[in-house]
């Protein structure tokens, strides 16, 4: 059986969908459905069992799931809000829970693949290379990034990082993110703005070396992200930290223009001041080095930003469709 935490969430449900495409249905999904619409991501998926996150660790320790051996753990569940200010909450969710699951997985010889984050790189002062020898030098800009960084460091200190796979997801977008509120990708946000007003607002640049809307990000389509994730299920000899990215930095203007074009509407972009509360935490440039991923044997061609947005808009956003 394959365990997927966060399996009703954005990347988690896309991963379950991709597993289904490969014929895997013996899947245990763990999540916290709450009162939102995340449950809708499960409707088109095939899985063997579901467990609420609050009940999961006690049930796991009691052996409730021992009827079938868990052979692989995809630990994607976490609080992913970059503006979350409750540090204790982040520690319990992103650090302590992760430690317990890692200990279980390694004790039971299950493949352990987990979500780290590109937020661990901070402002990029030390680059965006997924080299384990560099992680002690990284300084995340927010508590979310630091909670992920803490777990990377803990695994390394425990001697478990070279027996695990930590995935440093960059800016992932695509189907099944409808429930994410303020944490939705800007493709979805701009799609909604265009439908409502015919225009899109972007943050002005507050640095002289970047023009408005020219801040750069490594945007990756969720379909590519889950293909990369499943690569490590099929390559058990590959371990350590890996960037889940395209290796190409694109600007916000490009992203918004591609969204307008996919909708068949002439672009109309204006620029507004960035809130002072986030200016000191704002990343002006991210680009994941994926040489290590490629060296591990991943050779699939990636969607371009324009191809991905065209697929997302035309096949999902215009009719509210989901993967499944």
The pLDDT profile of the chain, 324 residues, written as one tens digit per residue, is: 999 999 999 999 999 999 999 999 999 999 999 999 999 999 999 999 999 999 999 999 999 998 899 999 999 999 888 888 889 989 998 999 999 999 999 999 999 999 999 999 998 889 999 999 999 999 998 999 999 999 999 999 999 999 999 999 999 999 999 999 989 999 999 999 999 999 999 999 999 999 999 999 999 999 999 999 999 999 999 999 999 999 999 999 999 999 999 999 999 999 999 999 888 878 899 999 999 999 999 999 999 999 999 999 999 999 999 998
Total residues belonging to the chain? 324
On the CB side of 6, CA atoms within 13 Å amount to: 25
Active site annotation includes 156: no
On the CB side of 313, CA atoms within 13 Å amount to: 25
pLDDT attached to residue 184: 95
pLDDT attached to residue 37: 94
Active site annotation includes 180: yes
DSSP label at residue 133? G
pLDDT attached to residue 215: 97
Is the separation of the CB atoms in 100 and 57 below 8 Å? yes
**According to CATH, what is the number of the domain 2-173+218-248+284-303?**
3.40.50.720
Residue with tokens 């429930």: 179
Longest dimension (CA), the chain: 60
d(CA 145, CA 122): 8
**Catalytic, out of 144, 178, 298, 303:** 144
pLDDT attached to residue 77: 95
User: Residue 33 CA to chain centroid, in angstroms?
Assistant: 18
Tokens representing 199 are: 């225009």
DSSP label at residue 229? H
Is the separation of the CB atoms in 16 and 85 below 8 Å? no
Q: Could you tell me the residue ranges of all domains in the chain?
A: 2-173+218-248+284-303, 178-216+250-279
Dihedral sign for Cα 287, 8, 90, 273, please: positive
Burial of 56 (0-12, 13-18, 19+ CB in 10 A): buried
Is the separation of the CB atoms in 31 and 193 below 8 Å? no
């Amino acid at each position: 059986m394959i365990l997927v935490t966060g399996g009703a969430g954005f990347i988690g449900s896309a991963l379950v969908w991709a597993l289904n495409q490969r014929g895997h249905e013996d899947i245990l999904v763990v999540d916290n459905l709450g009162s939102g619409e995340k449950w809708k991501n499960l409707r088109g998926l095939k899985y063997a069992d579901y467990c609420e996150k609050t009940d999961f660790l006690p049930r796991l320790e009691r052996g409730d799931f021992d009827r079938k051996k868990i052979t692989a753990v995809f630990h994607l569940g976490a609080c992913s809000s970059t503006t979350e200010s409750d540090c204790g909450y982040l520690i319990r969710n992103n650090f302590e829970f992760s430690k317990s699951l890692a200990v279980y997985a390694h004790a039971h010889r299950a493949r352990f693949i987990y979500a780290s984050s590109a937020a661990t790189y901070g402002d990029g002062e030390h680059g965006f290379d997924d080299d384990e020898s560099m992680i002690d030098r990284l300084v995340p800009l927010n508590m979310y990034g630091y909670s992920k960084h803490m777990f990377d460091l803990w695994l390394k200190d425990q001697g478990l990082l070279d027996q695990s796979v930590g995935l440093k997801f960059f800016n992932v977008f695509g189907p099944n993110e409808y429930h994410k509120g303020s944490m939705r990708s800007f493709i979805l946000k701009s799609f909604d703005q265009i439908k409502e007003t015919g225009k899109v607002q972007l943050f002005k640049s507050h640095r002289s070396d970047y023009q408005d809307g020219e801040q750069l990000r490594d945007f990756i389509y969720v379909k590519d992200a889950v293909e990369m994730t499943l690569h490590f299920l099929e390559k058990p000899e590959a371990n350590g930290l890996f960037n889940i990215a395209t290796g190409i930095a694109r600007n916000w203007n490009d992203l918004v223009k591609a969204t307008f074009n996919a909708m068949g509407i002439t672009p109309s972009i204006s620029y507004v001041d960035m809130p002072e509360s986030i200016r000191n935490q704002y990343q002006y440039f991210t680009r994941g080095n994926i040489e290590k991923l490629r060296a591990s044997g991943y050779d699939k061609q990636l969607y371009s930003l324009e191809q991905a947005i065209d697929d997302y808009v035309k096949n999902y956003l215009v009719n509210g469709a989901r993967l499944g």
